[in-house]
Chain A
Amino acid sequence: MRPILNFSTIKTNGGLTRNSREWSVAAAALAMFALMAIAAPSFYSAGNLRDLALTNAPVLIIAVGMTLVILSGHIDISVGSGFAVCTVVAGALAKLGLPMPVVAAGTIVSGVFIGAGNGLLAGVLGLPSIVVTLATMVILRDSLRWATEGAWIQNLPASFQWGGLGQFPGQVLIVLVTLGIFAFFAWAARNLSGGRAIYATGSDSEAARLAGIRPQRVVFGVFAITGALVGTAALLNAVRFAQVQSNSGVGLELKVIAAVVVGGASITGGRATLWGTAIGLVLLGTIGTALTFLGASPYWEKAIQGGIILAAVAADSWLGRRARNVRAEATLS
C-alpha cells in the first residue's frame, strides 16, 4: 500500500473523517493569531477576547445545530429568523414577570416548535429543505415585524439581564453553557447511535433506509434539535442586554453556514465534524475584529470572509479529486 493512500483516507474510529481540511483551517487561524500577536498585541486584551467570546458564543451554538442539519444532507436558512422570534419570546415572557427558568424553558420550546415545523415539512413530507426554510425564514421574520411593529421590548425586570446573576458570573455562565453544549454534541455525534444515523442518512439516505434507519425521523429530529439550539442561543444572547431587539439575527444563517462549510463539511451531506465547525467559526468570527485592530477598513470583512469560503470549497474540490484518483489507482493495483 502506498503511503499516500493512507494519508488521504485516514479515518478516526468515531466516524469523523479527518482529512487535511480541519488542519488547514486551523493553520490559517493560527497564522492569523500569530500575526496579531506581532502586529497588534492589543488584540489579546482581556476585554477584546471577552467581547469576541460573548458575541460568537450564540453563533457557535447555532452552528452546532447547522452542522447536524448539513451532515444529514439538508440545510436550514431560517435560523436567523428563528433566532429573532426566540429573542422576542424571551423578552415577552420576561416582561410578564415570569421567573427566569420559565423564561428560559419557554424560549427553548418556541425554538423547538419552529425546528419541528421545518423538520415536519423537510423530513417527514420530504419537501426540499432549502425551499421550506426559505419560506419559514420569510414568514417568521415578517410575522415578527407585524407583531412587534418594530418596537423593542424595554423596561425588562432586573432578573432578565445576566439572568439576575450580575455581569461577570453571567458572562462566565454563557461561555460555560456554550462550551458544554459544544462538547456534548461533539461527543454525541461520535458515540451515540443517533449520531451514526445522521452520518448514514446524509451519506446515502436510501442506503440508510435499507439498513433499517428511518431517514425521515432522523431529519425531523435534527431540525428539532437545531430549533432547540436556536432558542438557547437566542436566550444567551438576549440576557446580555437590558432591552430586547425585534430584528436580531439578520444574516445569521449565512455566518453559521459559512462556518460549517469552511470547517470541512460537505454541503451535500454525510461529511462534517463539529471540531471543524468550531475552527471555521474561530477564523470567520474573529477576522473582522482582527482587521480593525490592524487598522484596515472593516468594510473588507465580508469580502475576506467570502474569499475564505471560496478558498475552502476550492481546496475541497481539489483534495476530493486527488483522493478519488488515488482511490482509483488503489483499486486497480
Chain B
Amino acid sequence: MSLISATAIYKSFAGVQALKGASFDLQPGEVHALVGENGAGKTTLIKVITGAVTADGGKLEVNGAAIRDNDPQRARSLGVAAIYQQPALFPDLTVAENIALETEPSGLWRRVNWPRRHERARVLLQQIGAHIDSRALVSELSMPQQQLVEIARALGADARVLILDEPTASLTGQEVEKLFTVVHQLRAAGTGIIYISHRLDELFQLADRITVLRDGMSIATRLAIDVDKQSLIRMMVGKELTATGETSHQSPGEILLETRNLSSRASGLTDITISVRAGEILGLAGLVGSGRTDLARTLFGLEPWDTGEVLLRGENITIRNPGDAIRSGIALVPEDRRRHGVIASMTISQNMTLAALSDISKHGLIDERAEHRASAALTRALGVKTPSIHNAAGNLSGGNQQKVALARWLATDPAVLILDEPTQGVDIGAKSEIYELIREIADRGKAVIMISSDWPELLSMSDRIAVMREGAVTGVIERSEATQERLLRLAFGQSAG
C-alpha cells in the first residue's frame, strides 16, 4: 500500500496553472526524488500533500484512504512532516521544548514533566545519531543541527512521510554526508521520503525513484538506476527551446560594466567575472538561490564585496551604498516590486522622481513643474495606464506598477540597468510591452542586465546569457548558441556540452 498516492492533481493560483494533472506516489521505505526546473510545480505539489494549499482537482490518498479536505493539521496527524531549507523552529526555546511542541499533547492545564520531556528529546536525537543537548537553545545551534532537530521532531510525531525540500542547499560536504546517513536510516525503518534537490548528483546517491515535473505535469517516474543526468535534464526541458524573436538592432558598443573576480563571503559570491556592453542585454540565468539576486544587490551597493573589482567604462569604482551606485549610473529595479519597487502610498509622479530628486531640484528645492513634466513624459513614453500622474501608485495593476518602477530608474538616466525578474506577476499583455521597453532601453545605448527565471523570456530577450550556480558563474553563452538544455545543464552544474 502506498504511503502517498496523488493522482491527476490540479491547482491554479490567480489564473496561473501551477499543477496540471501531476501524479506522484510514495512507498514505505523508499526515497522518491522530485525534480524539475523553477516553476515546474514541485513546491505546489508538496504544499498539496502537506495541506498548505487545497488542490482544485485530483485525488490524494494517504495510507490508502482518500483525503478530501486536507489541511496542515490533518496532514500532520496522518504522519506527514516537511523540512524546508530554512529550519522552522522557535529560536528562543530549547531543543526539548521545540520537539515537545509537536510531540506532546497540548492543553491549557497540562503539567509539564520536564525530566520526561528532556528524556524523550534525548532518545529521539539519539535515534538519528545527533549529539545535541536537549537543553540548548535552538538559536545556539548551527543550521545542520537545527535540521536534525526538525527530523527528530518529525520522528517524535510518528511521521511516516518525510518531505525534505532542498535540505542540503546550505550544508557543507561533511554535513551532507551526515544527513544522508540519517535518511538511509529512516528509509531502512520504513519511512517514506520525498526528496527535492537541485543537486542532481545527490539524487543518484540517495533516491530509489525519480519523478520529473514540467509545467505542472509529471513527465516521467523512473528508477534512479535507469536514468542519468543527461536524460533527466532532457526530460525537464521538454521541447527544444532556442533563442527566438528579434535580435538587437545594432552591434553592441563599449563595455560599460565589468566585474573581475568579484567575491563576497556574506552573500556567497565567488569569483564573478562578467561584462556587459552598451546596447546589450545580458541575461542572468540560474535556479532559485543561485546568487543572481545577490550579484545584483552587490552591484547596487546593497551588499558588500570582499575581493575583486567592479569597473564602469573601464574605471575602477567603489559602491558602498545605493547612492554611490546611482551616482555611478547603475540602477536596479528590484525583484519584490510589490514590497519595494514602488511606494504604494506615494503618487505615480513622486515614485517616478524619487531616485532622481537631485535632478529636479535646486539646493534641495523641488521644482514641481519640472517634476510633473518629467513624470508626465515618462508616463506617456512607458504607456502607464492612469488617469492622472497624481494617483497613488498602489492603485495601478502589476504591469503598470512595474512600468513606474522602470520609469523611476530611467529618470536617473543610468548607464547600466539591472532588472530582477521584471515580468514576475505581470499579465501577458503588459509583459510584451515591458519586453519592448527593455529592448528599446538597450537600443538607446544602455547596458541591461536581466535576471529571469522564465527561460523563454531569457532566450528571446538576451544577447548573451550568463548562468549562475551556487554563487558562481558556470558559463556565458552567446545568443546564437543558447538552448534551454544547455542553460539548464549549466544551472545544474554540468558542462554545457
Contact = CB atoms under 8 A, between A and B. Distances in A.
Interface stretch (A62-70, A112-120, A203-211): A203-211
B343 A214 contact: no
A222 B368 CA distance: 23
Interface stretch (A34-42, A191-199, A302-310): A191-199
Interface in B345-374: 345-347, 349-350, 354-355, 357-358, 361, 364-366, 368, 372
A196 B395 CA distance: 20
Nearest to B327: A212
5 contacts: A11-B347, A207-B341, A210-B300, A210-B340, A270-B343
B419 interface: no
B471 interface: no
Interface centre among B323, B342, B366 (most CB of A within 10 A): B366
The 9 closest A-B pairs by CB, nearest first: A193-B357, A11-B390, A207-B340, A212-B326, A211-B354, A211-B355, A203-B343, A212-B322, A193-B361
Contacts of A50: none
A210 B322 contact: yes
B321 interface: yes
Given A9-B391, A210-B340, A327-B395, A191 B346 contact: no
B303 to A, nearest CB: 12
Nearest to B346: A203
Interface in B307-347: 321-323, 325-326, 332, 334, 339-347
A265 B392 CA distance: 17
A155 interface: no
Nearest to A327: B395
A271 interface: yes
Contacts of B397: 331
Given A192-B365, A200-B346, A331-B397, A11 B391 contact: yes
Given A212-B323, A271-B345, A14 B364 contact: no
Nearest to A331: B397
Given A209-B322, A214-B321, 17 more contacts: A11-B388, A11-B392, A12-B390, A13-B349, A13-B372, A15-B350, A17-B345, A193-B357, A196-B357, A200-B354, A206-B340, A207-B340, A208-B354, A211-B355, A271-B345, A327-B394, A330-B395
A212 B355 contact: yes
A192 B364 contact: yes
Contacts of B408: 211
B15 interface: no
A206 B344 CA distance: 13
B429 interface: no
A193 B387 contact: no
Given A13-B368, A191-B365, A193-B364, A210 B346 contact: no
B345 A270 contact: yes
A53 interface: no
A147 interface: no
Contacts of A11: 347, 388, 390-392
B324 to A, nearest CB: 9
Contacts of B341: 207, 210
Interface in A1-20: 1, 5-6, 9, 11-15, 17
Contacts of A209: 302, 322
Contacts of B332: 210
B340 A204 contact: yes
A194 B340 contact: no
Contacts of A214: 321, 323
Contacts of A15: 346-347, 350
A15 B358 CA distance: 17
Contacts of B321: 214
A54 interface: no
Interface centre among A197, A200, A211 (most CB of B within 10 A): A211
Contacts of A203: 343-346
Nearest to A10: B390
Nearest to B387: A1
B364 A207 contact: no
Contacts of B395: 5, 9, 327, 330-331
A204 B322 contact: no
Contacts of A191: 365-366, 368
B345 to A, nearest CB: 5
A17 B339 CA distance: 20
Given A196-B366, A210-B334, A9 B345 contact: no
Interface residues of A, number: 34
Nearest to B348: A11
Interface in A207-236: 207-214
A270 B351 CA distance: 13
Nearest to B388: A11
B165 to A, nearest CB: 27
Contacts of A12: 390
A222 B242 CA distance: 54
A9 B368 contact: no
B449 to A, nearest CB: 16
Contacts of B345: 17, 203, 270-271
B358 to A, nearest CB: 7
Contacts of B365: 191-193
A17 B355 CA distance: 21
A219 to B, nearest CB: 15
Contacts of B355: 211-212
A199 B366 CA distance: 14
Contact of A207 (B300, B343, B387): B343
B323 A204 contact: no
Contacts of B339: 204, 206-207
A209 B343 CA distance: 11
A221 B437 CA distance: 38
Contacts of A206: 339-340
A199 B387 contact: no
Contacts of A327: 394-395
A331 B343 CA distance: 17
Contacts of A194: 364
A5 B302 CA distance: 37
B322 A193 contact: no
Contacts of A17: 345
Interface string B258-295: 00000000000000000000000000000000000000
Contacts of A1: 387
B387 to A, nearest CB: 6
Contacts of B302: 209-210
A14 B334 CA distance: 26
A215 to B, nearest CB: 11
A96 B221 CA distance: 90
Interface in A132-161: none
A224 to B, nearest CB: 16
Contacts of B322: 209-212
Given A196-B354, A212-B326, A14 B392 contact: no
A185 to B, nearest CB: 14
Interface in A120-140: none
Interface in B373-427: 387-388, 390-392, 394-395, 397, 408
A13 to B, nearest CB: 6
B343 A204 contact: yes
Interface string A293-326: 0000000000000000000000000000000000
Nearest to B398: A331
Nearest to A187: B365
Given A9-B391, A11-B392, A204-B339, A199 B364 contact: no
